[in-house]
Amino acid sequence: MRVFIAIQLSTDVRAKLKEALGRLRETGADVRCVKPENAHLTLRFLGKITESDVEKIKKAMEKALQGICVFKVSFGGAGAFPGTGTPRVVWTSAREGEEKLCGVRDLLEETLSQVNIEKENREYHPHLTLARVKSHRAGDKLASWIESNNNLDLGSMKVSRVTLMESKLTKDGPEYRTIAAVSLRSELKGEQ
């Protein structure tokens, strides 16, 4: 199975994302927008694993997250990887909570390496993928949309759990299924 570790989005963030994607489609750019119901913030893509690896990955996640309390994250702005000149991916970034997300990602990297999952060497940039660029048709309109959405605001949400997700590639795009979830500690003392 093909898996990744992610944070699922709140209903409110998904609704604002859906509106933003509608405006992006209106540009006529040749992009394949994410389905709002599938949107998530990836903490770590793991790739192919076996069914027997699931339990050790879940235990590594529990170890990494045991001291982490519920925290707030907000999403906004627009950008592209590798850049707006020849974009391949259009994204919005995590703003409030970015440092916390990077810290969680680092903890996950450390505990996953203890169960023989090789560390990822590239720098982590917490973001939500909005669309993948299929061709550069109407690229000027896409670049203009990205620039004019520098102040895009998708709102904020509380992060209360981290999930291990399976991704199945189909002709209609990826389908996701939650395999395991680890809840973060409550903000209130004594609550779990």
The residues that are catalytic are 40, 127
Least Cα distance to 185 among 116, 104, 111, 127 occurs for 104
Spatial distance between the Cα atoms of 42 and 47, rounded to a whole number of angstroms:
12
The partner residues of 40 in beta bridges, in order of sequence, read 8
Q: What are phi and psi of 26, to 5 degrees?
A: -65, -15
CA pair distance 78, 146, nearest whole angstrom: 5
Contact 134, 76 (CB under 8 A): no
